[in-house]
Amino acid sequence: MNSVNSRHPIRIVSLYTGLSPELIRAWEKRYEAVVPTRTDTGRRLYSDDDIERLKLLKRASDSGRRIGDVAQLSVADLTDLVRQDVPVLADVKAASTDEPSDVVQLRADMMAAIKNHDPETLDALLHRGSLLFTTPTLMEDVVAPLLRDIGVGTRDGSLRIAQEHIATAQIRTFLGAMRPASVEFQEAPRVVITTPSGQLHELGALMVSVTCASEGWVPIYLGPNTPADEIAAAALGCGALAVGLSITYPADDPRLPGELRRLRRQLPDSIAVFIGGAAVRESSPLLDELKTPFLRSLHDVRDFLSSLRASTEGY
Ligand code: B12
């Protein structure tokens, strides 16, 4: 490796790749996936090639590859593998609902901790998840299904409200602490994230924030239940390129269409608005009217942000 070219500290690498610093260090320690040069004081410095390699490893891991199986492949072999995996993965997902056993086990352990009224163990398991999986996988395959199971549990009586509250509070704290990686990076594009007035469920919005940060954006998180005028003022005030909204419940709030229209009216066309969440339907005339794409999942957020970035940066 060319040491002159090794100039990126781990926080910046985390920003570019969407991998947490902990996961990058764990992949180095366990598999020597990428071994950076060190400064005289022992700080890690990564080259552009290292970043490229880590991005490919992340794609392979997102496709379900075990990192130990791919860590030693050359960049050319990794590129081929990642290309092959895209159609294969789509077929596998269409054909089967089987989940990897480590995901299922982690969720089961988390649910056991919740049933034991044990937020510390839940927190430790969430951190373990952040070392095992990339951010979108942790959100889509672990945290979101866990929250759905919690919702089912409180409905069928297998979980008490207090257990749901323990879980929600811990997950909220965990997600809130996952976002700072990009905040120091002044040139990164900004995205304002919130839920509109009347929408009190905020974990979807927090997951969108974490996903944006893992894609190299700086999320400006406003918390839940924000009036349209305030969202618009925040977006204009911080020079955001986009506003992301999460809508969970209620789906039929009569104030909501007016709020969304009011927001869109106050923003210039250069600021994109994207909306998602359990209460948003694909063929909604309101989305068409607002010229807002329907995004189903956090994976869609990633694709949306990269196309937005490409269109605004002209590459
Ligand atoms: C935690 C929780 C609460 C907490 C919220 C705390 C907080 N700080 O957010 C509290 C206790 C306050 C609460 C209150 C209530 N809740 Co509640 N709650 C939940 C629970 C368990 C999790 C919600 C959550 O955060 N889900 C996780 C998110 C991440 O899931 P999601 O919205 O599906 O998001 C996914 C996608 O949609 C997408 N996504 C989300 N946002 C976005 C945004 C973009 C841009 C994109 C692209 C994608 C995207 O990504 C996620 C991952 O795949 C759900 C159960 C469930 N099934 O979700 C019930 C649930 C949402 N609650 C429900 C209800 C009924 C209530 C109450 C009315 C209960 C009551 N009787 O008081 C109140 C209503 C409060 C109010 N006025 O709004 C119902 C809603 C039923 C419905 N849809 O009609 C649910 C589904 C539980 C159930 N009964 O099955 N709740």
- Between 97 and 22, the higher pLDDT residue: 22
- Between 147 and 102, the higher pLDDT residue: 147
Residue 3 pLDDT > 70? no
Identify the domain boundary among 158, 177, 196. 177
Residue 270 burial (10 A CB sphere; 0-12, 13-18, 19+): exposed
> Is the same domain home to 159 and 259?
no
297 Cβ closer than 6 Å to some ligand 1 atom = yes
> Is the same domain home to 215 and 254?
yes
| Most informative mutation of 200, 208, 221, 248 for ligand 1 (most atoms within 8 A of CB) | 248
Distance CA 224, CA 206 (A): 9
Residue 223 Rama label (left phi>0; alpha psi -120 to 50; beta): left
> Is the same domain home to 106 and 221?
no
Distance CA 208, CA 201 (A): 13
pLDDT class for 73, splitting at 50, 70, 90?
A: very high
Gyration radius from the chain CA atoms? 20
Q: What is the mean pLDDT of residues 204-216?
A: 90
> Is the same domain home to 188 and 308?
yes
pLDDT attached to residue 91 = 46
pLDDT attached to residue 119 = 95
Domain range holding 122?
Answer: 101-177
> Is the same domain home to 109 and 67?
no
Residue 89 pLDDT > 60? no
Counting from 1 in the atom list of ligand 1, the atom nearest the Cα of 150 is 21
Residue % of the chain over a pLDDT of 70: 90
Cα 195 to middle of ligand 1, angstroms: 12
| CA proximity to 308, closest of 287, 298, 297, 293 | 293
Cis peptide upstream of residue 250 (ω within 30 degrees of 0): yes
247 Cβ closer than 6 Å to some ligand 1 atom = no
Read off the tokens for 138.
């942790």
pLDDT attached to residue 87 = 53
Residue type at 259 in one-letter notation = E
Counting from 1 in the atom list of ligand 1, the atom nearest the Cα of 199 is 78
The CATH number covering residue 36 comes to: 1.10.1660.10
Distance CA 61, CA 23 (A): 12
What is the number of structural domains in the chain?
3
